[in-house]
Amino acid sequence: MPQPSWFNRLSIFAGLAFLYLPIVVLVVYSFNASRLVTVWGGFSTQWYTAAISNQSIVEGAKISFLVAAISATFATVLGSLAAIVAVRIRRFRGHHIFNGMLVAPMVMPEVVMGVSMLLMFVTLGIDRGPVTITLAHATFTMCFAAVVMQSRLVELDPSLEEAARDLGCPPFMAFMKVAVPTMAPAFVSAWLLSFTLSLDDLVISSFTTGPGASTLPMKIYSQIKFGVTPEVNAISTIILGVVVFGLVASRIVSRPSTKSSLAV
Amino acid sequence: MQSYVSIENLSKSFGFFTAVDDVSIGIGRGEFFSLLGPSGCGKSTLLRMIAGFETPTSGAVRLDGEEVTDVPAHRRPTNMMFQSYALFPHLTVGKNIAFGLEQDRLARAEIRQRVSEVAEKLQLTALLDRKPQQLSGGQRQRVALARALVKRPKVLLLDEPLGALDKNLRTETQHELVRLQRELGLTFIIVTHDQHEAMTVSSRIAIMQQGKVLQIGSPAEVYETPVSRYVAKFLGEANVFEGGATRRSGNELAVESAEAGGSVVAAAADHVSTNGRFWVSVRPERVELTKQGSGLEGVIEQFSYAGSGRHYRVRLKSGATLDALRVNLGAEDDLSIGDTVFASWMPQAARLLAD
């Protein structure tokens, strides 16, 4: 392997710094003893204590986690169904449009989605609160879940289910007994991804929320309006930790089973 | 004869493409039957229709006298061994083998007994607690076979079952399959594109091309008396020369062939008329090359040593090529590239083809 040149090293360093320096600063200053955000006053975990004893923050966190868990579950179920249609039935009338519409929300401006969902809830006369946030999150995370499921479903050997049928299993049971267990890691992966996306969403939550239902990102955002406090740094670090854990877990789980070469 | 598996005028179209075209085959009980053909000839589709995975466009499938054309796969008394083996990755070897018996809701004790029986037969007893990912290719192949056999199917269907194995293991497994089939007395239908494999294992072979069956017969029949140039060339090597028949003397027919640059002989039954276009097909191992004498004159252009035999490619005076194979009996080789040789063969070694 050729050694990277000094230019390569520099550009990698600069690129990583550009991406991650702000996050490093955030994490470091969350352990700052000083009340001033930009002045280092020694190591302390007092802001973590302050954050988790802040009633409003804890309330926001509860809503966020609940919304994320429920919406991720919906998104995984719906996304899986969509993926099954896209992969298994494949050549139906309008399958191109279906596939396009499935992934379009990934690139659609969040503001547009937020406004449209708000309009829909108002039109239907649904009171806005945690329920509407959950519905909205399920909608926009569903397409991510569908993409994860789709990529795994494509790899699934169709003869697995045929083998189950051949051995006496009716088609639906063959799917449940063979395809679903084989796909289990993909379900977990899709759920974790949806959960993470929901947890840190601000824009769509803001549009679809109602009185008394503020998610954690919304709480943080409103606190920032009065200046950045080390407490915010601490909460952000906790969220960062949860998100990183979610993403890493999702990647590990979804990694295709390594073909063992141990057998002879 | 009443066939055990009877395929009657079976056709299958996918849109405008006809994968299987009006195929009729009768397979006897306890046969080891091969569907042989190049990829895309419809052999796998035919097998999948017997298994119940594809619905025929027209025609019927009968098993042991019962029509099963519309019976879904999970209620057919057939079991299939898949090309990819299709082992369930989340289940152990033991659970994989037991899967089919559990579907039949057999008693636990019986399931355990039958699994251990088949595991013993296929040397899998030590592997029952492993997951498929922890097995070698050959072991996986045996698990797939065990899983299909344990249900005691009326017919075992094998879709290119040895495609993923290396050559030595393949040959060994072919013999193993034949032994198992005899021992169990089951009817096997195997799909393969490997003519050598088909000849080794089968009692009879159906040669397919573009959805149609060209010829059905024992390995010796299809090799010795192919019905067409395609079959002759698909099963082993064949030198084929086009010509028109001229003289008949007894059972021999002399065919005047511009392609071969002379007259070539072939055995011909009485009913063969002495006019029209014919093709004479000769297997390379039946061609005799001599330095002096009579026959088709040519020059040795290529030579290859294949261990069990020596291959010569002769450029005939007419411009056509002729392949000859001398079985290696340990004799000194007296021919080399550039030599002028005369090729001849016994009349009964050549086959007269009308197509």
CATH assignment of the domain containing B17: 3.40.50.300
Residue B82 with chain A: CB contacts under 8 Å: 159, 162-163
B176 and B273 housed in the same domain: no
Q: B interface mutation test: which of A166, A173, A262 has the most B CBs within 10 A?
A: A166
Residues B215 and B264 in one domain: no
Residue B117 belongs to domain spanning? 5-228
For residue B103, the chain A residue with the least C-alpha distance is: A168
Which of B90, B143, B159 is the mutation pick for testing A, counting most A CBs within 10 A?
B90
Give the residue with greater pLDDT, B99 vs A53: B99
pLDDT tens column, B248-260: 777 788 888 888 8
SS3 A109: coil
pLDDT at B2: 72
pLDDT at A264: 33
What is the CATH classification number for the domain harbouring B281?
A: 2.40.50.100
The secondary structure element, H or E, covering residue A155 is helix A130-155
Highest averaged pLDDT of the listed ranges A207-216, B213-222, B299-308: B213-222
CA distance A126 to A124: 6
Q: In chain B, what residues touch A159 (CB-CB under 8 Å)?
A: 82-84, 86
Q: Are residues B212 and B260 in the same domain?
A: no
Among residues B182, B200, B228, the one where a domain terminates is B228
A1 vs B9, higher pLDDT: B9
Q: Are residues B281 and B222 in the same domain?
A: no
Do B113 and B184 belong together in one domain?
yes
* Three-class secondary structure assignment of chain B: CCCCEEEEEEEEEECCEEEEEEEEEEECCCCEEEEECCCCCCHHHHHHHHHCCCCCCEEEEEECCEECCCCCHHHCCEEEECCCCCCCCCCCHHHHHHHHHHHCCCCHHHHHHHHHHHHHHCCCHHHCCCCHHHCCHHHHHHHHHHHHHCCCCCEEEEECCCCCCCHHHHHHHHHHHHHHHHHHCCEEEEEECCHHHHHHHCCEEEEEECCEEEEEECHHHHHHCCCCHHHHHHCCCCEEEEEEEEEEECCEEEEEECCCCEEEEEECCCCCCCCCEEEEEECHHHCEEECCCCCEEEEEEEEEECCCEEEEEEEECCCCEEEEEEECCCCCCCCCCCCEEEEECCHHHEEEECC
Which residue ranges form the domains of chain A, and what is each CATH number? 54-253 (1.10.3720.10)
Which residues of B fall within a CB distance of 8 Å from A184?
A: 90
- To test the contact with chain A by mutation, choose from B48, B55, B79, B88 the residue with the greatest count of A C-beta atoms within 10 A, namely B88
Q: Is the pLDDT of residue A263 over 50?
A: no
C-alpha to C-alpha distance for A92 and A98, rounded to whole angstroms: 9
pLDDT of residue A112: 92
pLDDT one-digit tens code per residue, B315-342: 998 889 999 998 888 877 788 888 899 9
Are B128 and B186 within one domain? yes
Angle of helix B137-149 versus helix B167-184 axis, rounded to 10? 20
CB contact under 8 A, B133 and A257: yes
Together in a domain, B214 and B70: yes
Q: Is the ipTM of this complex over 0.90?
A: no
B310, B301, B352: which is closest to B334 by C-alpha?
B310
**Predicted confidence (pLDDT) per residue in B129-161, tens digit:** 999 999 998 899 999 999 999 999 999 999 998
pLDDT above 70: percentage of residues in chain B: 98
Inspect the interface and report whether the beta carbons of B86 and A159 lie closer than 8 Å.
yes
- Specify whether B224 is located in the same domain as B327: no
- From the list A167, A170, A260, the residue facing B100 with the nearest CB is A167
Mean pLDDT of chain A: 86
Instruction: For residue range B83-111, list pLDDT tens digits in order.
Output: 999 999 999 999 999 999 999 999 999 99
User: Among B197, B228, B259, where does a domain finish?
Assistant: B228
Q: Are residues B28 and B170 in the same domain?
A: yes
* Chain B residues near residue A181 by CB distance under 8 angstroms: 88, 90
Confidence of residue B52 (pLDDT cuts 50, 70, 90): very high
Give me chain B's average pLDDT, please.
89
The pTM of the full predicted model, rounded to 2 decimals, is 0.79
Out of B79, B104, B136, closest to residue A263 by CB: B136
Two tokens at A241? 């930790």
What's the structural domain count of chain B? 2
Weakest-pLDDT range from A122-126, A164-168, A233-237: A233-237
Dump pLDDT digits (tens) for A161-210.
999 999 999 999 999 999 999 888 889 889 988 998 998 899 999 999 88
Say yes or no: B38 contacts chain A, CB-CB below 8 A.
no
Asked if B320 and B288 sit in the same domain, the reply is: yes
Residue A264 burial (10 A CB sphere; 0-12, 13-18, 19+): exposed
Same domain? B116 vs B250: no
Residues B254 and B147 in one domain: no
**Among residues B208, B228, B248, which one ends one of the domains?**
B228
The Cα B256–Cα B262 span in angstroms is 6
More confident residue, A196 or A4: A196
